[in-house]
Amino acid sequence: MTEFSSEEKIILIQYGIKKYEDEATLLEKLKSILSEKDIQRNIDTLIGTQRVRRIGPEILQNNESHTELPELPDNLKPVIDSL
């Protein structure tokens, strides 16, 4: 697994949520990039900071009315495209 900074992990998860709102699908797709513990911790952080909201038991959604998605760094574009 490639090492990402904590900010890069957050960005990856936010763009992953944009692509796959279903939490189970998101976890499955991100497992090849990040550990499950990292994914869960960062999802919890995003929910706590209101950048992501939970819609029902399994659906996650970026809270774009509250905060904008950060700009996707060039080094993360191929990772997101491959999800």
Domains for the chain: give ranges and CATH numbers. Answer: 6-82 (1.10.10)
Q: Residue 57: pLDDT band by 50, 70, 90 thresholds?
A: confident
pTM (predicted TM-score): 0.90
Share of the chain above pLDDT 90, in %: 87
pLDDT at 1: 56
Asked if 66 and 54 touch (Cβ cutoff 8 Å), the reply is no
Mean pLDDT of 16-40: 95
pLDDT at 80: 93
d(CA 5, CA 25): 23
